[in-house]
Amino acid sequence: MFRTLSVIATLAALSFLTAADPPAAHKHDKHDDHYMQCAKACDDCARECDACSTHCAKMVADGKKAHLVTLATCQDCATFCRAASSIAARKGPFAGLMCTACADACKRCGDECDKFKDDPMMKACADECRKCEKACRDMVRHTAGEKK
């Protein structure tokens, strides 16, 4: 009997705790959407940059040495994007710093890929870099004052 009452009391306490407001850290923050949109844009850009770097490697192998620069920028941009995605998704304390750097990397990578506008893969990469750059800058702008 005592055991049954103990279980009922525990369940009642748990239901009370789950009905109460969640701690502030778990509430949906008005900035959550900006972090997650940024993380998604960074993930998308990293994949596109990886695909483009493979394309550039093939172009270099075919003798088009001008693609050495885009090969390197796409590889580095993908690395920035992966790091920014991870930090933004967890709303880390360095999200603003990392996403500012990612936006700058995406700008530079997009500018390099834009030099080959007639190449569909290069254009797709440049376009994805522009989307990521915008998402990162938007996240930084919308969340700049929240940690103060």
Confidence at 143, pLDDT banded by 50, 70, 90: confident
Structure-model confidence comparison of residues 21 and 143, the more confident one? 143
> What integer pLDDT is reported at residue 34 of this predicted model?
86
- Answer yes or no: are the C-beta atoms of 77 and 129 closer than 8 Å: yes
DSSP H/E element including 142: helix 120-143
Backbone φ/ψ region at 29: left (φ over 0), alpha (ψ -120 to 50), beta: beta
Q: Tokens 């990521």 map to which residue?
A: 132
pLDDT at position 1 over 60:
no
> What integer pLDDT is reported at residue 21 of this predicted model?
41
For residue range 36-47, what is the model confidence (pLDDT) as tens digits? 999 999 999 999
DSSP string, 6-20: HHHHHHHHHHHHHHS
Among candidate residues 144, 139, 115, the one with its CA nearest the CA of residue 34 = 139
> The domain 31-142: what is its CATH number?
1.20.1270.360
**Whole-number average pLDDT of the chain:** 85
pTM: predicted TM-score of the whole model, two decimal places: 0.78
> What integer pLDDT is reported at residue 144 of this predicted model?
80
What is the distance between the alpha carbons of residues 111 and 102, in angstroms, rounded to a whole number? 14
Among candidate residues 100, 85, 86, the one with its CA nearest the CA of residue 133 = 100
Give the domain ranges of the chain: 31-142
> What integer pLDDT is reported at residue 3 of this predicted model?
58
